[in-house]
Amino acid sequence: MGTAMFHVAAILVYRRRKIATVPISQPRVFPDSGFHCLDLTARFEEETLPDYSEERYYPIHIGEIFKSQYQVVTKLGYGSSSTVWLCRDLCNRRYLVLKVHVRTKRQPPEVGISNHLKAMQSTHTGKKYVRLILDAFEIPGPYGVHPCLLYEPAGIDIRDYIHGLEGDALPENVLRPTLRFVLIALDYLHQANIIHTDIQPNNILLGIDDDSILAEMEEDEISNPCPRKQLPDRTIYATRAMPLTSGEPILADLGEARLAEGKQTGLIMPGVYRAPEVSLGMDWDSKVDIWGLGQMAWTLFEQGHLFRTLSLETEAEKAQRIAEMISLLGPPPAEFLRRSQESLKFWDENGNWNSPVKIPEQSLEGRESRLETDNQVLFLRFLRKTLRWLPEERPTAKELLLDEWLRGDDY
C-alpha cells in the first residue's frame, strides 16, 4: 500500500525549488504592504457564511505568535466554527496546523477524544492514520474566549483530490487502498470505544510526505502576500491553497466523535450518509461508521451519492429516503422494524410498506456504471456488506479488511 498511487500529474503542484528558509526556531517578519487590498463593501471568505458574525471570530493576523511558541504563517481555510492556519512551532522546530475556534465557553469535545486516545498509548497501526490534537489552549478575544487546537499538517481532502481526476472519481485501484487505510483507522478507533460518526470524503485527508512544501508556502506568503480585506478592527485574509501531496490518507475531524461503550442514542451523521437506525430513532453503535464507509465508497467511485440529498427533517423526506433504501437493498427484516415505534409511520404491523411514497424501480447493478462482470459482482458484494439493515450484520472494520474486492490484486 504505497503512497505513489496518490500522485496526479494533472493537478498543479508547487514547483520544486531550492529556497533559503529561516530556521523554524526563529520567528519571521511578514510584510505589511505589497498585497492586494480587497473591496471593503464586499463579503469575503468567512464573511460569506450564512451565520457569520464578526463577534464570533478571533481577529487573527499573519505573523501573530500564541503562547510564545506558535507563529501564524498563512491561512489554510475557514468554516462556520473556526479558521485554520499554518503556523511555526518555534520550540519544536516544525510546522503545525492551528485551528482557531469561534468564541465559546466550552472546550471542543474533540479535545477529550484525543486525550482519551493518547492516554491509551496504543501500538495499533491505525493510530498513525487518525489525526489527533497535539496541543490545545485558549486565547482571549475582544468578545470572549477562543479555543485553539494544533494538529500535524495534512494535505487536501479526498473530495478535492478527485476533482482533478478524469471523470471526477477515484479509479478502482486507488479506491481500494484508500478504503483500507480508513478501515485500519476505524479499527483503531473502535477498539478504543470511539465512534467517528462522520465518515465522508472531506474528512479523509492526503498525508504530507515532504515537509518542504510547507516551507515553500511560508516563503510564498512573504514574497507574494495573500490578498486581504483590511477593516478597522480585523483583517480577513484569502485562503492559500494547499498543494497536492502524495502521502497516505488520514482520517480527520473527531469533532463529532463519541466515546462510547455499547448502544448510543441521538441524531448523528450527515443526512446524505445517515444510517437507517439513526433516521428511525433507534439505538446505534460503531456500525454507523461501517454504513458511512460504504456510502462514501460509492460517492468516491460513482460520481454522486447513492441516495438523493435530502434534509430528512420531514416525514415525507424520510419516506423518500427509506423507499430508495428498499429499492436498492431490499426490504428490512422484521427484527429491524420492531426496534422503533417510528417504523409504524412507514410500515404496517405486518412489515408491509405503508406510505404514499412509491418505491423506485432500480437496483445496485443498474446504478453501478464503471465495472463489468466479476469486478462489479465483487464490488457490490462489498457494498452490500456495509449497507445491511441490521447493524450487527455489518462486518467490523477488521473483518471488512478481509473482503475479496477490497484486497484486490495487491495481496
- What is the set of active-site residues? 198
Dihedral pair phi/psi, residue 139, rounded to 5°: -130, 140
User: In whole angstroms, what is the distance from residue 292 CA to residue 268 CA?
Assistant: 11
Cell numbers found for residue 62: 499573519
SS3 at position 407: helix
Q: Which run of H or E residues covers position 150? A: strand 145-151
**How many residues are present in the chain?**
411
DSSP for 318-359, please give it: HHHHHHHHHHHH-PPPHHHHTT-GGGGGTB-TTS-B--SSPP
Q: Grid cell 510546522 — which residue?
A: 95
Angle at 311 between CA 305 and CA 315, to 5 degrees: 115
Sign of CA dihedral 138, 205, 389, 276: positive
User: In whole angstroms, what is the distance from residue 169 CA to residue 159 CA?
Assistant: 9
Cell numbers found for residue 200: 465522508
User: In whole angstroms, what is the distance from residue 205 CA to residue 131 CA?
Assistant: 9
User: In whole angstroms, what is the distance from residue 346 CA to residue 352 CA?
Assistant: 9
User: In whole angstroms, what is the distance from residue 232 CA to residue 48 CA?
Assistant: 19
Number of helices (H) and strands (E) in the chain: give both, helices first.
Answer: 12, 12
Cell numbers found for residue 41: 463593501
Task: Please state, in angstroms and as integers, the Cα–Cα distance from residue 84 to each residue in 79, 182, 195, 223, 242, following that order.
Answer: 8, 23, 24, 21, 12
Strand partners, 37: 228
Q: Which run of H or E residues covers position 85? A: strand 82-89
Burial of residue 370 (number of CB atoms within 10 Å: 0-12, 13-18, 19+)? middle
99 marked as part of a ligand binding site: yes
Strand partners, 101: 82
- Binding-site residues for ATP: 99
